Chain A
Amino acid sequence: MSRQKIVVVGNGMVGHHFVEALANSGAAVDITVIGEEPRPAYDRVHLSDVFAGRAPEALALADRDTYKSWGVEAHFGDPVVTIERNKQEVVTGLGRRFAYDKLVLATGSYPFVPPVPGHEHKRCLTYRTIDDLGEIKARAKDSNIGVVVGGGLLGLECANALQNLGLETHVVEFAPGLMGVQLDEGGSRMLRRKIEALGVTIHTSKNTKNIGKGDNCALKMEFADDSELETDMIVFSAGIRPRDNLARDFDLAVGERGGIVVDSRLLTTDQNIYCIGESALYEGRIYGLVAPGYRMAEAVASQIAGGVASFTGADMSTKLKLLGVDVGSIGDAHGRTPGSISFVFSDEREEVYKRIVTSGDGKTLLGAVLVGDCSGYDSLLQYHLNAIELPAEPQGLIAPTAGEAPTLGVAALPATATVCSCHNVTKGDIVGAIDGGGCSLEEVKSATKASTGCGGCSAMLKNLVDDELAARGVAVDKSICEHFPYTRQELYHLARVGEIKTFAAMAGAHGKGRGCDVCKPAIASIMASLWNEHILETPHVGLQDTNDTFMANMQKDGTYSIVPRVAGGEITPQKLIVLGQVAQKYDLYTKITGGQRVDLFGARLEQLPEIWRALVDAGFETGHAYGKALRTVKSCVGSTWCRYGVQDSVGMAIFIENRYKGLRAPHKIKSAVSGCTRECAEAQSKDFGVIATENGWNLYVCGNGGMKPRHADLFATDLDDQTLVQYIDRFLMFYIRTADRLQRTSTWMDNLEGGIDYLREVVIEDSLGIAAELESQMELIVGTYQCEWKTTLDDPEKLKRFRSFVNSDEADSNVVFVKEREQIRPAKPEERLRLVSAGN
């Protein structure tokens, strides 16, 4: 038999999944992909991550080289416009022709824009593609207010994006509630409450009848009830419509309200044409999620490769985080099944709503709605998907009980249980991967693809893998190094409980050997976090990294840089002058840092005490730029000067910086305080960030710039000063207690089981009963603060180490500077040779 020619129209998520499945099936086929978008398939589901800082390129699912290596011919940026069914050929916009034996339509859908007069205005946009993203970003630049039309899943996601872009955000919804498809009325109401608390204004039961020119903004929306709303831009997200025009034009059956009709083999009314993904209409239904689309793609790939797989519908359960609010919807969320009964739990104070829908006998779970707390989602989904018999009192699954909520342990799941619905991976597949030699989460992920889609299953996957590995007696070695068979967390605990205050005592009690450059600084840091003794006290001195030992940052040539603390970035002219004078006197290279302070470079070891003497005398303190410790708390100018500021951000930043200065931690800690939502201090990229609101402060946690930027999570809103500080105290101490060595808060959070919800339970609700202890530990650190440099200057014993040579006052001849832009810099090797041989 000759090779079958397969042509795929559309290179979206589902079209790509199909190509991948078929290309890897070994079938004798020649595949051609034709995509209208200018780039290969990308991850549409995570589109909004781009607003949170992810590069659009990082969303790519496919690239041209991979297609080439699979032998797939791919054309992008040229849509198919004609299907000549009798000739079995398609024609593209540029007139290219491709013959097929089987044609697969994966054309997806487009955002529905209601035909309101004025909707063509250039400030009216949609949100579906990478190109759309670019336009939204560009428009947002000269906008203050943004409206999203549509309060469904995508609309709210889009509202999140607009908020991230700093706009005053409104959602306009036609129906009386939000997310009507996935949520019942109670859930929808709770969601609204929570979203409004985040500063998004929701307008429901609004029918837009005209979009005209605004008086204060670019646009004015007029509604059927005669109310109006002014805005600078509008994004339509009022539902999707299948792209079925090829089917309409070339006489394939389409549904009454659109969608290309397919049977369970995914065949259209032409036996050589399949349709998959969001353009397919199966049993009167469009499946607007990736997982069902992937099932369709796999079924068709299997048929073409000679198999018989079919599609019989798919589960539409979803778990999402919308504007930081957890939302889950499973099966029959509205309780529409005849005879079904519902159990509802609603807590307006904590803003949690949960509902489960069971069969009349209470034995099977038909559906569920979760708003504000999705911790039970995984268990509930498994009850639902695998028809596992519910406990006798099913309400226990959602009611907050005194003890542990009864969750369904991973061990109890049948092998057929789906763990990852995006990639259709069952528990059996995962166990198989482990039996096949996978012995870490990463290996199981790459062998099965589980948890590489929407990520919704990641917590469950981790539990399952840990559980299976433990059952096989695989001990995962988490020892910090060869000297201590413990993790950093365990060492911290041992030191705290055993009141161990020195490395020697620690090694004697729990370690072996002499220690090394891994465990010594880690334990020194634990000692500092716990007991806060001066890092250069005799028992600690040999443990520190060179930067801590000399309380300065070593540069490439062995000289040091000096960073005095400038709390909140606020500095008097007099102090600036002193910095200038000191730098001038010692001829130090001077630079404004990224942390709102000044760095003086090029000091030799023996000069450090003299320089610090001058700085301390002028009122400066050490900035801990060298330590795994609190670094800077950046500020914006805030309400004192700025016309938009709503609180005194500088005052708060200085207060915070002074409170936590000297606090040593598993890694460095950075913070910032902004005076309003414009966020000029970039607080959302910090380990903890504070943004002023009309009513107080919003606290964000676990952000990161650096190598792998992470947008901070909104942790709590509208806090008063005292509560803010209380939460930060607890948060920081909990991090210090439980993080790994050299783990920033961002990676700590990414690895924290239960994530932000769990952290809130611990910090806000005190679920572990340790809040008081965390606070008093912080009080101890705050109360025992000393400027390490000041203390050192007063102690001749400590100063002894600040000599380049114990037996000579010479300077290190290897340190050679040249001038550039009127300041010194280390000479390059060739320059140094020249200068040194010329007698300097």
Chain B
Amino acid sequence: MTAVEKIHWQSICTRDDLVPGSGVCAMVGQQQIALFYLPEEDQQVYALSNRDPIGGANVLSRGIVGDVGGRLVVASPLYKQHFDLASGRCLEEDNVSVEVYEVRLDGNNVLIKH
């Protein structure tokens, strides 16, 4: 392959747009991305695809975040399955997972690798 994929950090919103201890959704290109802001953690922001693959609706940003057995998770608001914020894996269904995105805070800016 000769084409070199161009990956860069893109600013999507500010820290004020985030809700501490909870999620919001951002549109990146045509992709809906759920952003979870956990100010107390080392990694303060996590990003997953907003689409709940089980319920089939774009709602993961509206779930409750917490931890299960030490893993940070979000519980889907539709049928309550848990998705690991770091890996995107579904805890209840082995072969289900959602896309994970790299995000970081740069001052007041939220940057995503896209």
Which residues of A approach B to under 8 Å, CB–CB? 482-483, 513-517, 519-521, 538, 541-547, 549-550, 554, 556-558, 800-801, 803-808, 810, 812, 814, 829
The listed residue (B20, B51, B66) touching A517 by CB distance below 8 A is B66
Tell me whether B59 and A558 are in contact (CB under 8 A): yes
Q: Which residues of B contact A805 (CB under 8 A)?
A: 25-27, 32
B79 to chain A, nearest CB (A): 10
Bound Cα distance A808, B77 (Å): 22
B107 within 8 A of A: no
A523 to chain B, nearest CB (A): 12
A454 to chain B, nearest CB (A): 39
Q: Which residues of B contact A812 (CB under 8 A)?
A: 32, 58
B78 within 8 A of A: yes
Q: List 20 A-B contacts (CB under 8 A).
A: A513-B67, A516-B66, A516-B73, A519-B66, A541-B22, A542-B21, A542-B65, A546-B59, A546-B77, A549-B22, A556-B55, A556-B57, A557-B57, A558-B58, A558-B62, A801-B24, A806-B18, A806-B35, A807-B17, A829-B56
Q: Which residues of A contact B66 (CB under 8 A)?
A: 483, 513-517, 519-520
Bound Cα distance A538, B65 (Å): 15
Bound Cα distance A556, B56 (Å): 8
Q: Which residues of A contact B58 (CB under 8 A)?
A: 558, 812, 814
The listed residue (A520, A554, A800) touching B59 by CB distance below 8 A is A554
B6 to chain A, nearest CB (A): 21
Tell me whether B63 and A546 are in contact (CB under 8 A): yes
Tell me whether A808 and B69 are in contact (CB under 8 A): no
B12 within 8 A of A: yes
Q: Which residues of A contact B78 (CB under 8 A)?
A: 554, 556
A622 to chain B, nearest CB (A): 18
B64 within 8 A of A: yes
Bound Cα distance A451, B95 (Å): 44
Bound Cα distance A464, B58 (Å): 51
Contact with A along B45-61 (1 / 0, CB 8 A): 00000010001111100
A808 (CB) vs chain B CBs: closest residue: B27
B31 to chain A, nearest CB (A): 11
Tell me whether B57 and A814 are in contact (CB under 8 A): yes
The listed residue (B12, B20, B77) touching A542 by CB distance below 8 A is B20
Tell me whether A543 and B27 are in contact (CB under 8 A): no
B50 to chain A, nearest CB (A): 9
B11 (CB) vs chain A CBs: closest residue: A807
Q: Which residues of A contact B22 (CB under 8 A)?
A: 541-542, 549
Tell me whether B67 and A514 are in contact (CB under 8 A): yes
Tell me whether B19 and A541 are in contact (CB under 8 A): yes
The listed residue (B13, B27, B72) touching A514 by CB distance below 8 A is B72
Bound Cα distance A543, B19 (Å): 12
Tell me whether A545 and B64 are in contact (CB under 8 A): yes
Q: Which residues of B contact A517 (CB under 8 A)?
A: 63-64, 66, 75, 80, 82
B105 within 8 A of A: no
Bound Cα distance A541, B27 (Å): 23
Known: A549-B62, A558-B59, A801-B24. 8 other contacts (CB 8 A): A515-B67, A516-B66, A517-B63, A542-B20, A542-B64, A546-B62, A801-B19, A814-B51
Interface SS of B by simple majority: strand
The 8 closest A-B pairs by CB, nearest first: A542-B21, A516-B66, A546-B77, A558-B57, A517-B75, A542-B22, A806-B17, A517-B64
Bound Cα distance A200, B49 (Å): 65
Q: Which residues of B contact A808 (CB under 8 A)?
A: 26-27
B97 to chain A, nearest CB (A): 19
Q: Which residues of B contact A516 (CB under 8 A)?
A: 64, 66-68, 73, 75
A555 (CB) vs chain B CBs: closest residue: B57
B51 (CB) vs chain A CBs: closest residue: A814
Interface footprint category on B: 35 or more
Q: Which residues of A contact B13 (CB under 8 A)?
A: 806-807
Bound Cα distance A519, B67 (Å): 11
Tell me whether A482 and B69 are in contact (CB under 8 A): yes
Q: Which residues of B contact A543 (CB under 8 A)?
A: 21, 64
A320 to chain B, nearest CB (A): 43
A516 to chain B, nearest CB (A): 3
B59 (CB) vs chain A CBs: closest residue: A558
Bound Cα distance A800, B17 (Å): 8
A538 (CB) vs chain B CBs: closest residue: B20
Q: Which residues of B contact A801 (CB under 8 A)?
A: 19, 24
A546 (CB) vs chain B CBs: closest residue: B77
Q: A516-B67, A549-B62, A554-B62 are in contact. Are A806 and B24 (CB under 8 A)?
A: yes
Bound Cα distance A812, B82 (Å): 23
Tell me whether B68 and A545 are in contact (CB under 8 A): no
Q: A806-B17, A807-B27 are in contact. Are A521 and B64 (CB under 8 A)?
A: yes
Q: Which residues of A contact B67 (CB under 8 A)?
A: 513-516
Bound Cα distance A556, B79 (Å): 10
Tell me whether B64 and A520 are in contact (CB under 8 A): yes
Q: Which residues of A contact B75 (CB under 8 A)?
A: 516-517
Q: Which residues of B contact A545 (CB under 8 A)?
A: 64, 77
Bound Cα distance A557, B52 (Å): 10
Q: Which residues of B contact A515 (CB under 8 A)?
A: 66-67
Bound Cα distance A541, B23 (Å): 11
Q: Which residues of B contact A556 (CB under 8 A)?
A: 55, 57, 78
Q: A517-B80, A546-B63, A812-B32 are in contact. Are A482 and B24 (CB under 8 A)?
A: no
Bound Cα distance A515, B82 (Å): 13
Bound Cα distance A810, B82 (Å): 27
Bound Cα distance A483, B68 (Å): 9
The listed residue (A482, A544, A806) touching B68 by CB distance below 8 A is A482
Q: Which residues of B contact A554 (CB under 8 A)?
A: 59, 62, 77-78
Interface centre among A482, A517, A549, A550 (most CB of B within 10 A): A517
Bound Cα distance A805, B17 (Å): 10
Bound Cα distance A543, B20 (Å): 11
A609 to chain B, nearest CB (A): 16
A813 (CB) vs chain B CBs: closest residue: B30
A659 to chain B, nearest CB (A): 31
A103 to chain B, nearest CB (A): 58
A605 (CB) vs chain B CBs: closest residue: B62
B82 to chain A, nearest CB (A): 8
Q: Which residues of B contact A807 (CB under 8 A)?
A: 12-13, 17, 26-27
B57 to chain A, nearest CB (A): 4
B62 (CB) vs chain A CBs: closest residue: A546
A804 (CB) vs chain B CBs: closest residue: B25
Bound Cα distance A63, B24 (Å): 55
B80 (CB) vs chain A CBs: closest residue: A517
Tell me whether A810 and B27 are in contact (CB under 8 A): yes
B25 to chain A, nearest CB (A): 5
Tell me whether B25 and A806 are in contact (CB under 8 A): yes
Bound Cα distance A800, B37 (Å): 15
B56 (CB) vs chain A CBs: closest residue: A829
A554 (CB) vs chain B CBs: closest residue: B77
Bound Cα distance A330, B64 (Å): 56
